[in-house]
Amino acid sequence: MNIYIASSEKYVEKIQEDIYLRDFYKKKGFICEILTLKKIVELSEPSDRVILKSIWGYHLNYEEFIKQILILKERKVKLINDYNFILWNVNKINYMSELKDINFIPTTNINFKDIKNKTDIDKRILRTSKIFNTDKFVIKPNVSASGYLTLKYDQSQNNNEVISLINDNKHLDFIIQPYRPSISLGELSVILIDGKPMYGVNRFPGIFTEGKDVEYINVEQIPGGIKNQINEINNFFINKFESLPKISRVDFVNNDFKYEIMEIELIDPDLFFRFIPNEVLQECLKKMSTI
């Protein structure tokens, strides 16, 4: 059995988290390589294991991504996370709709494919956003990652740049959500392995563009309300899939002293291993060993 850690071509052998995993499995006696998903599709055999880890950018050509995933499935390669979780998680509006009773940030779809001019884009945004009790919104593609085309629309400001970007990409399916000002204070991401919260990180705007660090949060310091919501998500997974994802990240934002879920990441979750104490890292790697 070989273990492959799937990365995008740009990041092969460059992401510390991938390297931690590779070195851990090698010490356990496994053959383990960090390769592109395309290369893994060429090499993998039914007995192999594939961990989707830093395939950042898959959303730019997700039809090809799904095709590659289905080839691995047909070949009976084991995927971490399992195929059902990946195919479910790729479509934001679908999975958010299924989990709407677990205090997700309110979300609805909004499409612009039939619109002929920019003025009508603005009208559609205003008409669709009436369901939210706010003047500020976030608009982003339904299939997206890493903040790709995540746009802030403010009725009190000039939104020409936002409208132009939507117009240039109106072939995509979009979603719209109310903007939460508290995001400026960070979003709380909880890392789970086999459904168990291992730790949290407070992620601040600019973590990638400005090189800002994240704040590590001990598992005992994760608010009880968040843990309750995670239990509800785990119960949903058991009922729907009869299992839990191996690795996942759930992102929360504080809104009026209660936490709303922003996103569940099962496809290529950044687990922020590089920011956590070594003893916690080793515990996580140990739990990851049962793949």
100-139 tens-digit pLDDT? 889 899 999 999 999 989 999 999 999 999 999 889 999 9
Q: How many CB atoms lie within 10 A of CB 176?
A: 21
- The CATH H-level (homologous superfamily) assignment of domain 92-103+183-288 is ATP-grasp fold, B domain (3.30.470.20)
CATH code of the domain occupying 108-179: 3.30.1490
Say which amino acid occupies 199: Y
Question: Where does the chain hold its CATH 3.40.50.1390 domain(s)?
Answer: 2-80
Helices (H) and strands (E) in the chain, counts: 9, 13
Per-residue pLDDT at 222 exceeds 50:
yes
Arithmetic mean of pLDDT over the chain: 92
Query: What's the pLDDT band for 205 if we cut at 50, 70, 90?
Result: low
pLDDT at 283: 96
Torsion of CA 28, 30, 34, 36, to 10 degrees: -150
CA atoms of 58 and 177, how far apart (whole Å): 23
Q: How confident is the model at residue 144 (pLDDT cuts 50, 70, 90)?
A: confident
Q: Is the dihedral of CA 89, 91, 92, 97 positive or negative?
A: negative
Does residue 181 contact residue 105 with C-beta atoms inside 8 Å?
A: no
In this prediction, residues 152-163 reach a mean pLDDT of 94
What would the mean pLDDT of 145-161 be, rounded to a whole number?
A: 90
Total-model pTM = 0.92
Name the residue type at position 193.
I
Q: Residue 8 in 3-state DSSP? A: coil
CATH superfamily of 2-80: Resolvase, N-terminal catalytic domain (3.40.50.1390)
Q: Where in the chain are all domains bearing CATH 3.30.1490?
A: 108-179
What is residue 258's three-state secondary structure? strand
Q: From start to end of 120-186, where are the E strands?
A: 136-141, 151-154, 173-178
Mean pLDDT of 196-209: 78
Q: How high is the pLDDT of residue 289?
A: 86
Q: Does the structure show a pLDDT above 50 at 207?
A: no
Residue 212 is predicted with a pLDDT of 62
Percent of the chain exceeding pLDDT 70 equals 97
Query: 3-state class of 174 per DSSP?
Result: strand
Residue 263 has pLDDT above 60, yes or no: yes
3-state secondary structure of 24: helix
Model pLDDT, residue 184: 82
Of 93, 161, 178, 177, nearest in space to 122 by CA: 161
More confident residue, 222 or 62: 222
Q: Read off the pLDDT of each residue in 162-188 and give the average, rounded to a whole number.
A: 92
Q: What are the tens digits of pLDDT across the range 25-59?
A: 999 999 999 999 999 999 999 999 999 999 988 88
For residue 185, what pLDDT band results from cuts at 50, 70 and 90?
A: confident
The answer on pLDDT for 210 being more than 50 is no
Instruction: Say yes or no to pLDDT of 206 above 70.
Output: no
Query: Which of 254-281 are b and which e, b meaning 16 or more Cβ less than 10 Å from the residue's Cβ?
Result: beeeebbbbbbbbbbbbbbbeebeeebb
**Residue 188 pLDDT greater than 70, yes or no:** yes
